[in-house]
Every structure is written in structure tokens, then in C-alpha cells.
Amino acid sequence: MASLVLGTRRGRLPGSALVRAATLFGFAEGTTRVALSRMVAAGELSTADGEYELDGPLLERHGRQEEGRRPQLRRWDGSWRAAVVGSTGERRPAAERASVRRRLADLRLAEWREGVWIRPDNFARDAYPPIDGCTWLERARFVSDEDVHELVDKLWSPTGWAATATELLAAMAKTTPHDDIAETFRIAAAVVRHMRDDPLLPDALLPADWPGQALRAAYDVYEAAFSAALGSILG
């Protein structure tokens, strides 16, 4: 259910469409409605006028997913953004520390040293959200470019991301909605998750033949074909 709603641009679908779509994967109507009720109770979905809409953590995930699909980046000038965690010296509860780590990871920062999170400052947004227990630093620079490339490989493993992206491109080329709509959905969900995890690094720090844009372009076509096929089935 989450993947179906996350896969839409609006983050919202009619309950009737969700029930019919779930039957394609072998789920009975009653099972689907129970799952939807539980997701509403858990704060993952909200419902109104017969539609279910993303809420809470799923809504945040949808925003990160859309950023991965249509990133708003600016030309990188070599500067970095950093967040220093726990700079006040207070020892916070484990749950709070875990929450801070998740938020920083969702902003596509990586932990360089314990409590020090960084990323190239190439997002179009000028400001990062305030996070309790974090001090933001900007316009930081490394002295050695060679060290920077080694650091990027260690923290974000762009070659690993690229390898998986290439496999997903091949999977989309191999299976179309006309072949197997259920398998198409699984592939599409995997592509969306992978785009969500794109580190969105500057071109200067990426390997040659980076497949990020090719994956996004191919998915736009794939998603349109899947939506058309699913619409014809659901009526």
C-alpha cells in the first residue's frame, strides 16, 4: 500500500483504486482494508472523501523521493556543509540521537567523524532546517582534492550506487507493463527507492558515465507506461 501511494506524484489515491490494485498481488479486499486502517492508525496515512493520503514519516519519505527524482542542484563551488552534533556537551537519550542521525541522513549528509556530518554544498536550497543538538557550518573547504575523492568513495560509495542503477536500467528495458504488471510494479518500486538514495553529489565528484540522469529519464517513461496499464485494468 505504501509503495502504491508513494509512487504517485500527489501522494494520494482513492481507497477503491488501492483495493483493486492490491488484488493484482493476491491480497483480498478485507486484508487490504485492514492494512489501510492500521496505516491510518499509525499516522502513515490520512483519509478524507474516500482517498488515502501520505502522512507522517511516509510523507517525509515522499518528499525525499521526489527530490531524488527531480533534484534542484546548483553549480558546486567546492564548498561543503557540515553539521556538528552534540556540540553543547549534553548527553541526549538514545532515541533522540537516533532521530537526529535519521534526519541528517535524509538530508543526504554522511558521518565523517563521530558527531560530524558533511556533504558538498550543491543543493539549490540555501538553508538547512534547524535540528536540536546540531550546529550548522557552511562554506567549509578541504585543502586536498585527492583526499576529497577518497572521502566521497568512503562515505557515499557512488560506484556502488551506479552499479545498482545500471542493473535497474536493464530490468526496466527487459520487463514492461504489458509483460507482467506485478513485476513491473516491483521494479518501479525498486527504482524509486534507489533514486531516493541518490547522494546527489556534484558532477566533479562522480565517476565517469554516471547513470543518475539516465535512470530518472527512463523511469519517467516506465512510470507513464505502468500508470496507463494499471488504469486500463482498474478502469
* Count of structural domains, the chain: 3
Would you say residue 11 lies in a domain? Answer: yes
pLDDT in tens, the chain (235 residues): 777 777 776 777 888 888 888 887 788 889 888 989 998 999 989 988 888 888 888 888 888 888 888 999 999 999 999 999 976 666 778 888 888 999 999 999 999 999 999 999 999 876 788 888 889 998 888 877 668 989 999 999 999 999 999 999 999 999 988 888 888 888 998 999 999 999 999 999 999 999 999 999 999 999 888 878 777 765 5
Residues 120 and 160 reside in one and the same domain: no
Cell of 31: 486484508
Q: Cell for 225?
A: 507506461
Domain co-membership, 226 together with 190: yes
| 149 within a domain of the structure (yes/no) | no
Residue 67, domain member (yes or no): no
CATH number of the domain to which 17 belongs? 1.10.10.10
Report the candidate in 199, 170, 193, 235 with the shortest Cα–Cα distance to residue 23: 235
Same domain, 85 and 51: no
Domain around 121: 80-140
Q: Does residue 53 sit in the same domain as residue 97?
A: no
If you search the block for the grid coordinates 567549509, which residue do you land on? 140
Query: Do 163 and 230 belong together in one domain?
Result: yes
Residue 145 lies in a domain: no
Residue 69: inside a domain: no
Q: What is the reported pLDDT for 18?
A: 85
Distance between CA 150 and CA 154 in Å, rounded? 6
